[in-house]
Structure 1
């Protein structure tokens, strides 16, 4: 089939794989390529926010550390914290959404009103409260970021499951004696795979932004962490004097988000394609 006026699906798939694969590969292999578990010190002669030069291919950051070494060591924390927050969000949000989409209206109202209460709390206020009460460890940050996404995930799942849940096939399964777990977690889960995958691709950047905001408040990762989001926040004021310290980690995060979304779109398009 001809694809005039646009890029072929095969080329778009390869472009998406490269966009996602480069930052993921760098996050996985970067610490090994960088050597030690921590970025090596730049030495006493390294100036803060210095441009690229001998010994520092990407220059130094505001603390005088080698940007390349920081980038090589900053990927695992990005993937780990974001993946952990998303795992919590969907592990709690999907069952709650399916529960609310069930036949009992009282259960639906109870679940959705409780989620509305959680939705009323601004994310930034929750992070400030955690910081003020001394809960500054990374696992508190991941748990808070994940729980803040639960209401939106549950609403999405409920809305996507309402129509399939009222179908004749579902009623037939109920009449045959199949339980809630079989109907919702096996039968309806197949109907929800596409919207949940799409939502995960768009929610990943939101989680990254929330985690970066938390790091700016001193919650979770320390300000000296090589995490890519922390590097962007830490070096934002030096953008025009040393842009590599901001643009390189920002480009990796953007590449990861865009590549993930493109791969999800491609997978969904193939699923909808008529043989």
Structure 2
């Protein structure tokens, strides 16, 4: 095959790829269903009295569309009320990691070498601590409140976010533009809040999608192990842990919250990938 024929084949493949039907609705459905359940679920579910006074671990039937859990509570009511803590905790921890990690990464990427070493070596110490071990130590010390769990999970994300921001800000192309802007007399606010913010938006968005899954997994694991929310909480991870022994007799109590957690993780990553792919095509 000649070079010209190879170019033609590649162009035809690109054209076919660009015409391939895309299905962004898959990501929207996967992400939208658990988010809507978490945000709107408590409204139609009613009060707690409608979830009690039933036999434990009953299969789906009249009055209980998804059956009951090991405590005799209506699984549908628990699922509709359990998403708020999942979504709020994961987003809260993610925001903490981003709010602290981005400034530290920009600070380390500055012109001062000593400051870079100080910031990054300090974050390396934090990076060495396993997440679940830290949460187990925290629980053993008596700090089992949800805000402790969210705060520590967010702090554990700071080193990875800071490293990502520092690496993107120190990329050769980015540094060349930054030096040119400084020579033109541009101030700190223009360089960091306008140029670097635009350059870091794509890698941060990609990382946020994957990091949301990491945070969600960490928090769900902590709740599954009984390190966070109380066992009576309707949180989806707590429901899975409490009803794991009844998986074969009352599978809805485990599979429904597990499916919602999985859809939340997969849908978030797919949506971020779709948005970034569309942005690349638009350039």
**Above 0.5 in TM-score?**
yes
Work out which of the two has the higher radius of gyration on C-alpha atoms and give 1 or 2: 2
Name stretches of at least 5 consecutive residues in structure 2 with no aligned partner.
Answer: 1-14
Q: 1:180 & 1:165 partners in 2: Cα distance? A: 18
TM-score normalised according to structure 1 size: 0.91
Q: CA deviation at 1:192?
A: 1.0
Q: Tell me the residue number matched to 1:42.
A: 52
Q: Tell me the residue number matched to 2:238.
A: 230
Q: CA deviation at 1:167?
A: 3.3
Q: Tell me the residue number matched to 2:278.
A: 270
Deviation per residue, 1:140-184 (Å, 9 max, x gap): 111011001111111111112211575332112223443434322
Secondary structure at the aligned position of 2:223 is classed as: helix
Secondary structure at the aligned position of 2:156 is classed as: helix
Q: 2:151 & 2:244 partners in 1: Cα distance? A: 27
2:32 maps to 1:21: yes
Q: 1:40 & 1:99 partners in 2: Cα distance? A: 53
2:242 maps to 1:250: no
Name stretches of at least 5 consecutive residues in structure 1 with no aligned partner.
Answer: none
Q: CA deviation at 1:217?
A: 4.1
Q: Tell me the residue number matched to 2:200.
A: 192
TM-score normalised according to structure 2 size: 0.88
Aligned equivalent of 1:216, options 214, 218, 224: 224
Q: Tell me the residue number matched to 1:146.
A: 154
Q: Tell me the residue number matched to 2:123.
A: 115
2:66 maps to 1:58: yes
Question: Does the CA-based 8 Å contact 1:137-1:219 persist in structure 2?
Answer: no
* TM-aligned CA distance change 1:70 to 1:164, over 3 Å: farther
Q: Tell me the residue number matched to 1:86.
A: 94
Q: Which runs of structure 1 show a deviation greater than 6 angstroms over 4 or more consecutive aligned residues?
A: none
Question: Does the CA-based 8 Å contact 1:86-1:146 persist in structure 2?
Answer: yes
Question: Does the CA-based 8 Å contact 1:232-1:249 persist in structure 2?
Answer: yes
Deviation per residue, 1:11-42 (Å, 9 max, x gap): x2111111111111111110001012x47333
Question: Does the CA-based 8 Å contact 1:164-1:170 persist in structure 2?
Answer: no
Question: Does the CA-based 8 Å contact 2:145-2:229 persist in structure 1?
Answer: yes
Deviation per residue, 1:186-207 (Å, 9 max, x gap): 2111111111111111111211
Q: 1:137 & 1:165 partners in 2: Cα distance? A: 45
Number of aligned pairs? Answer: 269
2:21 maps to 1:8: yes
Question: Does the CA-based 8 Å contact 2:236-2:261 persist in structure 1?
Answer: yes
Q: Tell me the residue number matched to 2:8.
A: none
Q: What is the alpha-carbon root mean square deviation over aligned residues?
A: 2.0
Secondary structure at the aligned position of 1:220 is classed as: coil
Q: CA deviation at 1:220?
A: 3.2
* TM-aligned CA distance change 1:195 to 1:124, over 3 Å: same
Question: Does the CA-based 8 Å contact 1:48-1:63 persist in structure 2?
Answer: yes
* TM-aligned CA distance change 1:164 to 1:88, over 3 Å: farther
Secondary structure at the aligned position of 2:41 is classed as: helix
Question: Does the CA-based 8 Å contact 2:106-2:165 persist in structure 1?
Answer: yes
